[in-house]
Amino acid sequence: MKEIPSKFRAAVFYGPGRISVDSKREFQPLRVSEYDNNATNIKSNSRGTILKVRSCCVCGYDARVFRNGHRKVKPPIVLGHEICAETLEDTSIMSAGTRVAVYPVLPCLSCKYCYYKMYNLCTNMQEVGSTLDGGFAEYMHIPQETVQIGGLLPLPDSLGDDEASLIEPLACCLNGISQISHNGRSIYRRGSSNALQTDDKSVAIIGDGPIGLIHLQLFKNLLRTKPILIGKISERMDIARSLGAKRTFFSNNTDATVSEILQFSDSDGYDLVVVASSDPSALELATMIASKGSTISVFAGIKEKSAGNAATLDPNIIHYNQISVTGSFSSTPDNFKQAIQIATDKVVDLSKIVTRQCSLDRITDALFLTENYKGLRTAVIP
């Protein structure tokens, strides 16, 4: 067993616009008691395990919470949910010093969604980096339930720490894709290049950020389609083309752009459209370029309503064009397992998605970079 300090350095979020490094952060109670009233099969005194964080990437969500706060985030708290860490003590399934990806959802294990292992839909969930201290810290406390559901997943040596911290968003993308045409079932079997019959489908991805570019690689390398990508930032569009986008388009939702995007499709629009942008206009664009009988995956959380900026979805387009709309949120431990295989097999090259590293002391810079769409993911190395 490695030494576990009682105080450690952590970037603590104190409220909108306020984050600073506390060099004497202590492990926080896991607050299991908050939902223990209904959850009879959880031991509220379970101690969990301590991990040493090796890398934690900054998600767009972290930047939005930093700027505006979030209804589910109660400061002071440590953000960060895209985590590669190291175990410090032997457990029944792994020895101390094992590098792991951390599944960030802590399920109640007693609701109907938990019964079906759809932990991402748990009605009483806690989340690492939102309601429990997360990965922008030297150390973190992981609840016993996370270990119990297989939420600490050992990593192969071939995956670097920063790549490994992106197993989380990759797992989320796999969940999103499996909702589109696989009823939520697994889409990857090692050794079979195409588990889904999608190679004849036309695919459009809206969003040029890390999530759009992970979807791009999945659709191209796993599902053997030839996706196009619609974005706003030229450096990111260059990366999209280098990763195999058949064509990239600048989005501005003008009639000219929409008709150009439509003309490029062989038919009257795209069979699968992924919304990987939090911009409310992305959803509208999706309905404009989706073909009849198509599916739209609403992957991204869309920015919440503000005056004149609400996302709109015309019900008559859905009806007359017989469009299916799927949603997805977070992921399951199964998605994590697949994500590790897919990243290890380089079906998706996650190293292309991490464009910067920074130290814990520079967390605010990392958040600024993220909210201003500079580069792709920034990894915080505590």
Could you tell me how many residues of this chain bind Zn ion (CB under 5 A)? 6
Tell whether residue 107 is a contact of Zn ion (CB under 5 A).
yes
CB of 124 to Zn ion, least distance (A): 5
User: Which of 114, 276 has the CB closer to Zn ion?
Assistant: 114
361-380 residues near Zn ion, rule: CB under 5 A: none
The one segment of 121-129, 256-264, 284-292, 324-332 that binds Zn ion by CB under 5 A? 121-129
Strands 228-231 and 247-250: parallel
**Per rule CB under 5 A, is residue 108 in the interface with Zn ion?**
yes
Sole window of 51-59, 127-135, 205-213, 348-356 interacting with Zn ion (rule: CB under 5 A):
51-59
Nearer to Zn ion, 201 or 356 (CB): 356
Q: Which amino acid appears at position 79 of this protein?
A: L
* Closer residue to Zn ion (CB): 66 or 270: 66
The residue among 122 and 290 lying less far from Zn ion, judged by its C-beta, is 122
The answer to whether residue 343 forms part of the interface with Zn ion (CB under 5 A) is: no
State which residue, 165 or 198, has the beta carbon closest to Zn ion.
165
Among 50, 63, 105, 122, binds Zn ion (CB under 5 A): 122
Q: How far is the CB of 168 from Zn ion (least distance, A)?
A: 6
* Interface pick for Zn ion out of 114, 166, 174, 222 (rule CB under 5 A): 114
Q: Is residue 353 a contact residue for Zn ion (CB under 5 A)?
A: no
Sole binder of Zn ion in the list 10, 19, 111, 174 (CB under 5 A): 111
Pick the stretch among 107-115, 260-268, 273-281, 370-378 that binds Zn ion (CB under 5 A): 107-115
CB of 119 to Zn ion, least distance (A): 7
Q: Which CB sits closer to Zn ion, 61 or 270? A: 61
Pick the closer one to Zn ion by CB: 52 or 81: 81
Residue choice 53, 59, 239, 300 for contact with Zn ion (CB under 5 A): 59
Q: Which is nearer to Zn ion, 108 or 203 (CB)?
A: 108
Question: Tokens at residue 344, please?
Answer: 């290890």
As a whole number of angstroms, the distance between CA 323 and CA 205 comes to 16
Q: Which sign does the torsion angle of CA 45, 75, 69, 233 carry?
A: negative
The three-state DSSP-derived secondary structure of the chain is CCCCCCEEEEEEEEECCEEEEEEEEECCCCCHHHHCCCCCCCCCCCCCEEEEEEEEECCHHHHHHHHHCCCCCCCCECCCCEEEEEECCCCCCCCCCCEEEECCEECCCCCHHHHCCCHHHCCCCEEECCCECCCCECEEEECHHHHHCCCEEECCCCCCHHHHHCHHHHHHHHHHHHHHHCCCCCCCECCECCCCCCCCCCEEEECCCHHHHHHHHHHHHHCCCCCEEEECCHHHHHHHHHCCCCEEEECCCCHHHHHHHHHHCCCCCEEEEEECCCCHHHHHHHHHHEEEEEEEEECCCCCCCCCCCCCCCCHHHHHHCCCEEEECCCCCHHHHHHHHHHHHCCCCCHHHCEEEEEEHHHHHHHHHHHHCCCCCEEEEEC
Stretch that binds Zn ion, among 8-16, 42-50, 64-72, 109-117 (CB under 5 A): 109-117
339 interacts with Zn ion by CB under 5 A: no
In the complex, the smallest distance separating the C-beta of residue 323 from Zn ion, rounded to whole angstroms, is: 27
**Segment near Zn ion (CB under 5 A), from 40-48, 95-103, 115-123, 308-316?**
115-123
Whether residue 204 contacts residue 216, with contact meaning beta carbons closer than 8 Å, is answered with no
Query: At closest approach, how far in Å is the CB of 169 from Zn ion?
Result: 5
Nearer to Zn ion, 114 or 205 (CB): 114
Nearer to Zn ion, 202 or 370 (CB): 370
List b or e across 305-323, with b for residues whose CB sees 16 or more CB atoms inside 10 angstroms: eeeeeebeeeeebeeebeb
What residue ranges bind Zn ion (CB under 5 A)?
A: 59, 107-108, 111, 114, 122
